[in-house]
Amino acid sequence: MQSVDKSMQSVDESVKKLLSGEGKNIPLFKVFIPESVMEPLRKVLLSGYIGEGPRVEEFERQLAPWFDTDNVLALNNGTAALQLALRLANVGYGDEVISTAMTCSATNEPILAMGAKIVWADIDPWTGNIDYKDAAEKITPKTKAIMCVHWGGYPCDLDELNAIAAEHGIKLIEDACHAFSSTYHGKPIGSHSDFACFSFQAIKEMTTVDGGALVCKSRADRERGRLLRWYGIDRKSKRKDLRCEADIVEYGYKFHMNDVTAVIGLEQLKYVGKTIEKYRANAARYNEAFKNLKAVRPLRYKDDRTSVYWLYTIRVKNRQKFMEHMEKAGVTVSQVHARNDTHTMFKDFRTDLPGVDEFTSEQVSIPVGWWLTDKDLTHIINAAVEYDRRCRPRVQEIRKRSGKYEKTPAPPANL
Ligand SMILES: Cc1ncc(COP(=O)(O)O)c(C=O)c1O
């Protein structure tokens, strides 16, 4: 028994180090939990009511201004939000959903869960987001929805995607799991399309430990979703018998949020604005520092929208070398998500995706969050600039020969 306790202690210690950055590396992600959550948490845990109740309703009310609509459903995670959105879009067996491969597999697994087929659209290799022109070309009579993902928090071309969806009478579902409080044309993500799905999972800017939200354009979808998130039962109906009286019209899920999670969410909302400001300020420092580099290049973002920068993704020449270089400098970097189309579970849907090929060959994310000190930021920038400098002679030599930078192969192996 003692040895189990000891090994648990050492796991605790190493997790603590990893998340606090007290170890060797500057972490890529870090969980934000304010100490002030303890009192409301204690209260709700001892209140005798811990299921979906008044705190979930209050959380939904307080989320409304963040999405500019009160058609909000608090759920137990972002994956559930995606599946519920597909269900509300009436996606079913044999239907087609146009989606992106450049995302967490949680975007696309719910499409399989609905019995539908995925049709991959290509991406813009300079944003990581779905290419709306390719999506439009892939629409067939079987298409029921387009799924788009705001990579790292940078919004997709929502006007164009919504116009395509409207033209074909299909739904646009935004996987906004990276994009809590990003904006498009001055309005928050969540206020533009039929459905937007958010994740409040542990390492997101806004976390409830695990949790999610589905934001619907129409009140009718919100009301149907309210039933479907709890087995299809209308918990607001007047029932003579507390549990079993009401007829269930259509089957549902167990996707609702509970009051314990909601209390954490309510507390987080007091801080998240400030946390996000820090992500954005850090990203602005990187944008400035990297703008003239040749081997380390920021993505190309338009100024009609803002990213919340859950990820700060760059494209680098010879990524493996860059990752080793950053690791030596004590900076954790990662590709975060692998392309989905090469997974065995999606093998039936493979197709040529040159934009995905280009993006996946160079993309990598560096730490950008609230935990970075000024010293950390300077250190990360210096490490990236140093990598770029070391690549330069080779880049210039090749440029002279070919007249083009784009064709530059890997930097020297001894880097
Ligand atoms: C793009 C994307 N979609 C969906 C999800 C799933 O969210 P959750 O973990 O809350 O189910 C994630 C989770 O990180 C994600 O990054």
**How much is the pLDDT for 39?**
97
Encoded tokens for 316 = 């680098």
Q: Are 275 and 203 in contact (CB under 8 A)?
A: no
Measured by CA distance, the residue closest to atom 7 of ligand 1 is 78
Which residue has a Cα nearest atom 8 of ligand 1? 78
Residues 6+ apart with CB under 8 A from 187: 68
pLDDT of 414 reads 35
3-state DSSP assignment of residue 45 = helix
Give me the pLDDT at residue 2, please. Answer: 45
Q: What is the pLDDT along the chain (415 residues), one digit of tens a residue?
A: 444 456 556 656 655 655 555 556 899 999 999 999 999 999 999 999 999 999 999 999 999 999 999 999 999 999 999 999 999 999 999 999 999 999 999 999 999 999 999 999 999 999 999 999 999 999 999 999 999 999 999 999 999 999 999 999 999 999 999 999 999 999 999 999 999 999 999 999 999 999 999 999 999 999 999 999 999 998 887 777 766 667 899 999 999 999 999 999 999 999 999 999 999 999 999 999 999 999 999 999 999 999 999 999 999 999 999 999 999 999 999 999 999 999 999 999 999 999 999 999 999 999 999 999 999 999 999 999 999 999 987 656 665 665 544 443 433 333 3
- Cα 29 to middle of ligand 1, angstroms: 14
Classify the C-alpha dihedral 196-200-203-204 as positive or negative: positive
Q: How far is the CA of 94 from the centre of ligand 1 (A)?
A: 24
CB 255 within 8 A of CB 80: yes
Nearest atom within ligand 1 for CA of residue 199: 10
Q: Ligand 1, closest atom to CA 77?
A: 10
Measured from the Cα of 204, ligand 1's closest atom is: 14
**Residue 385 and residue 390: Cα distance in Å, rounded?**
9
Q: Which atom of ligand 1 is nearest to the CA of 79?
A: 11
Distance 196 CA to ligand 1 centre (A): 12
Its sign, for the CA torsion 371, 376, 380, 381, is positive
Quote the tokens at residue 212. 């999610």
The DSSP H or E segment spanning 215 is strand 212-216
Question: How far apart are the CA of 40 and the centre of ligand 1, in A?
Answer: 26
pLDDT at 408: 38
pLDDT tens profile 276-332: 999 999 999 999 999 999 999 999 999 999 999 999 999 999 999 999 999 999 999
Q: What pLDDT score does 282 carry?
A: 98
Give me ligand 1 centre to Cα 82, in Å.
Answer: 9
How far apart (Å, rounded) are the C-alpha atoms in residues 245 and 413? 71
Of 3, 103, 101, nearest in space to 337 by CA: 103
386-395 pLDDT tens trace: 999 999 876 5
- From CA 10, how far away is CA 180, in angstroms rounded? 34
Selection from 314, 336, 284, 302 nearest residue 178 by Cα: 336
Contacts 24+ apart (CB under 8 A), 391-395: 391/294, 391/295, 391/317, 391/318, 391/415, 392/294, 392/295, 395/294, 395/295, 395/317
Ligand 1 centre and the CA of 33: distance in Å?
19
Is residue 331 within 8 Å of residue 383, measured between CB atoms? yes
Contact 248, 235 (CB under 8 A): no
Choose which residue among 129, 150, 199 to substitute to test ligand 1 binding: the one with the highest number of ligand atoms within 8 A of its C-beta: 199
Task: Report CA-CA distances (Å) from 252 to 45, 88, 93, 228.
Answer: 27, 11, 16, 4
Q: What are phi and psi of 263, to 5 degrees?
A: -65, -40
Q: By C-alpha distance, which of 388, 59, 33 is closest to 203? A: 33
Q: How far apart are CA 161 and CA 351, in angstroms?
A: 21
* Strand order through the sheet with 96-100: 72-75, 212-216, 195-199, 171-175, 143-149, 96-100, 117-121
- Residues 6 or more apart in contact with residue 164 via CB below 8 angstroms: 132, 135, 136, 139, 146
For residues 165 and 172, the answer to whether their CB atoms sit within 8 Å is: yes
pTM, to two decimals: 0.91
Task: Enter the tokens of residue 72.
Answer: 């909000």
Ligand 1 atom closest to the CA of 210, numbered from 1:
10
Whole-number Å distance, alpha carbon 200 to ligand 1 midpoint, is 8
The CA R_g of the chain, rounded to the nearest whole Å, is: 23
Q: 3 alpha carbon to ligand 1 midpoint, in Å?
A: 36
Residue of 177, 189, 200, 209 best suited for mutating to test ligand 1, as the one with most atoms within 8 Å of CB: 177
Distances in Å between the Cα of 295 and the Cα atoms of 10, 232, 292, 391, 395 are: 40, 53, 10, 7, 8
Q: What is the DSSP string of 72-84?
A: EEEES-HHHHHHH
Ligand 1 atom nearest to CA at 211: 10
Provide residues with CB under 6 Å of ligand 1.
77-79, 103-104, 106-107, 149, 175, 177-178, 199, 201, 212
Cα separation, 209 vs 220, whole angstroms: 29
**What's the 175 CA to ligand 1 centre distance in angstroms?**
8
Q: How far is CA 356 from the centre of its chain?
A: 17
Q: What is the CA(305)–ligand 1 centre distance, in A?
A: 22
